[in-house]
Structure 1
Amino acid sequence: MRSIWKGAISFGLVTIPVKLYSATEQKDVTFHQVHREDGGRIRYKRVCTKDGEEVPYSDIAKGYELATGEIVVLTDEDFEDLPLSSSRRIDVLQFSPAEQIDPIYFAKSYYLEPDAQGEKPYVLLRDALERSGQVAVVKVALRQRESLATLRVRDGVFVLETMLWPDEIRVPDFAFLDEDIDVRAQELQMAESLIQTMASDFDPSEYHDSYREALQQVIEAKVAGKEVIAPEAVPEARPAGDLMAALRASVDAAKKQREAAKPRKQAEKPEKAEKQEKPAAKRKTRKTA
């Protein structure tokens, strides 16, 4: 695994340097949009809706649309000036029982690995947290976004789970919640009986992605049947500005070399002519018998 972030856990007066790794990966069969006839890749260009011109990535900024339809343009410098108090730090705010945190708040999971000099305080906090049976509520800034998170222990490693803010959780506003739906006691008892019948310990290894496996079999069958299109190799596209500059430089260099070679060739022609004429004057013809 490759670390995607470096920072430190700030716990009171203790600082534990750590590296951040993605704890999960989504395995899926990925596809490209291609031309049905020849399998060529379909490419998209970044085009401005006002002038119809393609815009290089370096000229693209972030725009916030107002209710009036007007756009407020924000550059990288605007984001650099924003205060992120927890930048490069995982600030421990409090410790709480894990059951008090609704799983709906959890967004993404990360592993934390200690640096060499932070191994001892890392293990100390890990063991103390595991013995307490609680989780640490922290604040962290990742990818220019500050969020709440929890620290818990899994297989001897800290797991950082980023959380959504309370105002990001939608309220389930459904009509049936206001209706008075009558459920009979016998029906409720039968449903509870069914739940008890199907109850068992959770083993994730018993489940698998049957759709992905079936899709992979379809792809393998097409490969075995030689139903594969080999598109022509397309050279990698270079930025238009760099390519044009390189072409112009190459043309100018070729012109200079050609112009510099002309006087040299003209100076060499008379010398060659003299060298060829002199031996010709000394030659004597021989009479044949």
Structure 2
Amino acid sequence: MRAIWTGSVSFGLVNVPVKLYGATESHDLEFHQVHADDGGRIKYQRTCEVCGKTVPYQDIDRAYDDGERTVILEQEDFDELPAAMKDEIEVVQFVPSGQVDPVMLEKPYFLEPTGKSPKSYLLLRETLEQTDLTAVVRFSLRQKTRLGVLRVRDKVLVLQGLLWADEVRDVDFPAVKSRAKVTAQELKMAAALVEQYADDFDPSQFTDDYQEELRKLVDAKLEHGDAVDTAETFGDAAVAEKGDEGEGAEVIDLMEVLKRSLARKRGTKDGDSAGEAAEDAAETSTGEDAGGSASKSRAKSSSTSRTKSASASSKTDATSGSTKSAKSTAKSSAKSSSAKSSTSKSSASKASTAKSSTAKRGTSRSTESKRRA
């Protein structure tokens, strides 16, 4: 590795001489542009729009246009800025590591100790490890004042740039203000699915599939030219899988998708057993609020099934009633005649009862008249 910056880290009166190295590198394949007809490389020339001449890089300066005026800045102007001349990484705060928002993190750099004795380097490293704190620093790199943090990784101090606060955008789009509600049952099912994926993080087990396929394609073209068989290069299964991308992307029933995902991760062929087990566990742990929606859905389902059952029953009764109508008619006639005779007897009995009641009322009235007299 080649050092890109040399300076020191300072906290208080302690000074730590260091060299700065880029901690990451790109593994992407690099391409250049060519003419499609003959393969000739495409070149870009810097030309002046005033004189039309090609301008070499060393004769190019930078300018700022505010809409009305233009000011030209030469390289000497940038070099004379006070912040650009600093060769020091200044520690300004020690903060809890959890307070550093990952969205602000930029490119990391390794810091190598320099000088005759690395004692001050070891002191800063051990201090950060024992206190479990992160050092917030200011530094200048490539003529830019930057904010950063110092961490420890594999016994090496790592400097990582931070975005300034005004460089991070505020989140303001419809998904944040959505009125969609997530039920406790869905959360329980999602937690079960997350548990199936839970593991210790090992970045070495992940690879860049796109770059690997791109490298395979380049190698195949180098060997066979333009006559490359895609199925032979990547395999029939890979080509078929690529053709099926995007299918089933629409989520219709979130609970059903969660159950299928959980069943697939658990390695079951039939998702019903795993899905039902997780769903039962979710229903058991769900409170009354979460259970209300499930109860309503069950009530609707039960009502629907009763309605269908009643409809089927009425159809069956109608069919059986038509076949038994002849027998029931005869019985009904007999019952009707006996009912008429009993009705007439009942009428006569009611008439005699009425007469008796009338006579009693008359007797009671005459008795009351005598008492008054």
The equivalent of 1:273 in structure 2 is none
Residues 1:30 and 2:38 are matched in the alignment: no
Task: State the alpha-carbon separation in 2 of the partners of residues 226 and 172 from structure 1.
Answer: 48
Q: How many residues align?
A: 227
**Percent identical across equivalent pairs?**
48
Task: State the alpha-carbon separation in 1 of the partners of residues 62 and 158 from structure 2.
Answer: 32
Task: State the alpha-carbon separation in 2 of the partners of residues 202 and 90 from structure 1.
Answer: 31
Partner AA of 1:29 in structure 2: L
Segments of 5+ residues of structure 2 without an aligned counterpart are 228-373
Residues 1:164 and 2:163 are matched in the alignment: yes
Deviations 1:79-122 (A, max 9, x none): 12322187100101111111110111111100000113241111
Matches within 5 A, 1:70-81: 70-81=69-80
- Give the direction of change, closer, same or farther, for the CA distance of 1:43–1:69 in structure 2 (3 Å limit): farther
Matches within 5 A, 1:112-261: 112-225=111-224
Shift, 1:190, TM fit: 1.8
Task: State the alpha-carbon separation in 2 of the partners of residues 151 and 86 from structure 1.
Answer: 21
Tell me, what secondary structure is at the counterpart of 1:116? coil
- Give the direction of change, closer, same or farther, for the CA distance of 1:27–1:69 in structure 2 (3 Å limit): farther
Checking the alignment, whether the CA contact within 8 Å between 1:16 and 1:118 is kept in structure 2 is no
Checking the alignment, whether the CA contact within 8 Å between 2:84 and 2:144 is kept in structure 1 is no
Partner AA of 2:45 in structure 1: K
Larger RCO, structures 1/2 (Cα 8 Å, 6+ apart): 1
Checking the alignment, whether the CA contact within 8 Å between 2:95 and 2:135 is kept in structure 1 is yes
Task: State the alpha-carbon separation in 2 of the partners of residues 44 and 69 from structure 1.
Answer: 30
The equivalent of 1:239 in structure 2 is none
Task: State the alpha-carbon separation in 2 of the partners of residues 46 and 137 from structure 1.
Answer: 41
Using the TM superposition, name which of 42-51 and 8-17 deviates more: 42-51
Q: Which has the higher helix share?
A: 2
Partner AA of 1:55 in structure 2: V
Segments of 5+ residues of structure 1 without an aligned counterpart are 229-289
Q: Which has the higher strand share?
A: 1
Deviations 1:38-86 (A, max 9, x none): 32211000122344332221221112231x2643221112212322187
Checking the alignment, whether the CA contact within 8 Å between 1:18 and 1:118 is kept in structure 2 is no
Checking the alignment, whether the CA contact within 8 Å between 1:139 and 1:146 is kept in structure 2 is yes
Checking the alignment, whether the CA contact within 8 Å between 2:105 and 2:162 is kept in structure 1 is yes
Residues 1:106 and 2:138 are matched in the alignment: no
Deviations 1:5-43 (A, max 9, x none): 000011211111110000000110110101223322110
The equivalent of 2:61 in structure 1 is 61
The equivalent of 1:40 in structure 2 is 40
Task: State the alpha-carbon separation in 2 of the partners of residues 65 and 195 from structure 1.
Answer: 53
Residues 1:94 and 2:88 are matched in the alignment: no
The equivalent of 2:243 in structure 1 is none
Task: State the alpha-carbon separation in 2 of the partners of residues 125 and 12 from structure 1.
Answer: 11
Q: TM-score, normalised by structure 2?
A: 0.58
Deviations 1:193-251 (A, max 9, x none): 221221111111111011111111111112222569xxxxxxxxxxxxxxxxxxxxxxx
- Give the direction of change, closer, same or farther, for the CA distance of 1:2–1:85 in structure 2 (3 Å limit): closer
The equivalent of 2:15 in structure 1 is 15
Tell me which stretches of 4 or more aligned residues in structure 1 moved more than 6 Å. Answer: none
Task: State the alpha-carbon separation in 1 of the partners of residues 173 and 156 from structure 2.
Answer: 41
CA RMSD in angstroms comes to: 1.9
Using the TM superposition, name which of 178-187 and 9-18 deviates more: 178-187
Structure number, greater radius of gyration: 2
Q: TM-score, normalised by structure 1?
A: 0.74
